[in-house]
Structure formats: structure tokens, C-alpha cells
């Protein structure tokens, strides 16, 4: 047999070398950059994640309202999928209300809003 029929598989040495560079970069960041700018970085990351979560919540609110409306219309048109659409709409409204802090009422049932816990036995 000739050597043209054999395949040479790389042992993954370059990949391990790349992972070492990533860990080294993280260690340098933690040791030198983080102690001086850590507090500002914390608030910047929190602000950017807040915008993402708020956008996701708004999308869930809109999609939940759409599914809820389609489910209610399906109730009157005798669609067999209306219970699934109403339940999915309520779940999406709940997720959106949790992400954005909006209070939604559906037939007197409050969805979302702040969590109020009692103060013991008082």
C-alpha cells in the first residue's frame, strides 16, 4: 500500500496551546485590570445585561399578548389548539413581566409585579 491511502490526524496540540493562552489572558485580567476597574466594570456589565433582559422581556410580553389573543379568538372559532395558545400566552406574559417588572392582569389574575413577602407572623 502506498502512503496516499493513509490519513494523518493532528493530535490537537494547537488547540491545547490556544486554551493555555486563554487561561493566561484571564489570569492577567483578574490580577492586573480587575482590582483597579472592577467596580466600574461590574456596573457596566449589569447595565448591558439589564438592557438585554429588558428587551427579551418586552419581546415575551408582545408575543404572549399575541398568543393570548389568538387563543381567545380560537375559543370562539372552535379551534382545537386554543387551550395551548392561551397557556403559552400566559406563560410568555409571566416571563415578560418577570424580566421587565411590568404588572399584567388577566381576568383579575395578577401576573408579574414585585414579590411581596410577609414579615413573619405579623
Q: What is the DSSP annotation of 88-104? A: HHHHHHHHHHHHH--EE
All three cell numbers of 9, joined, read 490526524
Domain ranges for the chain? 3-112
| pLDDT value of position 96 | 87
pLDDT-based confidence at residue 5 (cuts at 50, 70, 90): low
Taking the whole predicted model, whether its pTM rises above 0.75 is answered as no
| pLDDT value of position 67 | 93
| pLDDT value of position 31 | 78
Q: E strands, the chain, where?
A: 103-106, 109-112
| pLDDT value of position 115 | 56
| pLDDT value of position 103 | 75
Amino acid at each position: 500500500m502506498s502512503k496516499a491511502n493513509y490519513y494523518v490526524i493532528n493530535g490537537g496540540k494547537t488547540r491545547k496551546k490556544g486554551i493555555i493562552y486563554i487561561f493566561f489572558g484571564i489570569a492577567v485580567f483578574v490580577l492586573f485590570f480587575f482590582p483597579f476597574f472592577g467596580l466600574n466594570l461590574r456596573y457596566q456589565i449589569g447595565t448591558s445585561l439589564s438592557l438585554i433582559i429588558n428587551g427579551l422581556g418586552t419581546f415575551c410580553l408582545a408575543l404572549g399578548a399575541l398568543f393570548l389573543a389568538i387563543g381567545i379568538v380560537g375559543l370562539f372559532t372552535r379551534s382545537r389548539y386554543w387551550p395551548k395558545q392561551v397557556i403559552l400566552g400566559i406563560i410568555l406574559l409571566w416571563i415578560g413581566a418577570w424580566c421587565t417588572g411590568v404588572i399584567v392582569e388577566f381576568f383579575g389574575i395578577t401576573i408579574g409585579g414585585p414579590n411581596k413577602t410577609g414579615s413573619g407572623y405579623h
